[in-house]
Amino acid sequence: MDRSASQLPELGQDPGREYRLGIMGGTFDPIHYGHLVTAEQAREALALDLVLFMPAGSPAFKQDREVTSPEDRYAMTVLATAANPSFYASRFEIDRLGVTYTVDTLKALRSAYPENVHLYFITGADAIIDIVTWHDAAEIASLATLIAATRPGYDIRQAQARIAASGIDFDVRYIQIPALAISSTNIRDRVRLGKSVRYLTSESVMGYINKNRLYHM
């Protein structure tokens, strides 16, 4: 993959040092403060140089409900991340046709960046618990360190046992994020019921939701 054609930020320029790239994977329907705090705390805890927010393209694994268009989810991601110099919103998955598998994204990023850039895939622990069933799970394990963000009260033992039983050598770091008491589901429900979502997501995202009548009845 050509990094400039894909509008990926530059990283790995100095061959004499190691770089760390975070990839924040999620549907982001919509993005909220829980996601932003997760990325910021992962950045700090693991000394990540940059975090790429990667809204999922066509989540075929989400047949149970209608997902907001990729362009709307991407636009909200741009708005929410715009002011942070370490955060970038990426079109990579939404521009791909068909289902995007995490392994394909990681392979493309691996080939776009030099070897001194280590990849860290960040997502919710509820998603990570299923990683053993994801497409090419063993290859994911060889391409990236995984950062699993947990909501308060989340018991990581079930995820740890499932991952250990897979026999795949995943490197998973768990980080507890109290702000993940906020959820996209709850925001969608509140909008549908005409309730306030102020302070759950940014003013810019809230404005975008209202202007485009997302999640309304």
Q: Does 184 bind ligand NAP (CB under 6 A)?
A: yes
User: Cα-atom radius of gyration of the chain, to the nearest Å?
Assistant: 17
Q: How far apart are CA 82 and CA 89, in angstroms?
A: 8
CB 111 to ligand NAP: min, Å:
18
Q: Indicate which single residue of 20, 27, 92, 146 sits in contact with ligand NAP (rule: CB under 6 A).
A: 27
Residues sharing a CB contact under 8 Å with residue 160, sequence separation 6 or more, in sequence order? 172
Task: Select from 43-51, 78-86, 121-129, 195-203 the region that touches ligand NAP (CB under 6 A).
Answer: 121-129
The tokens describing 74, both together, are: 């991407």
In single-letter form, the type of residue at position 167 comes to G
Q: Indicate which single residue of 1, 127, 172, 175 sits in contact with ligand NAP (rule: CB under 6 A).
A: 127
Task: Select from 18-26, 81-89, 158-166, 196-204 the region that touches ligand NAP (CB under 6 A).
Answer: 18-26
Residue 29 CB neighbour total at 10 angstroms: 25
In single-letter form, the type of residue at position 70 comes to P
Q: Does 70 bind ligand NAP (CB under 6 A)?
A: no
Q: Indicate which single residue of 35, 73, 91, 118 sits in contact with ligand NAP (rule: CB under 6 A).
A: 35
User: Which of 119, 126, 123 has the alpha carbon at shortest distance from 46?
Assistant: 119
The residues that touch ligand NAP, with contacts defined as CB under 6 A, are: 24-27, 34-35, 38, 56, 59, 61-62, 101-102, 122-124, 126-127, 134-135, 149, 180, 183-185
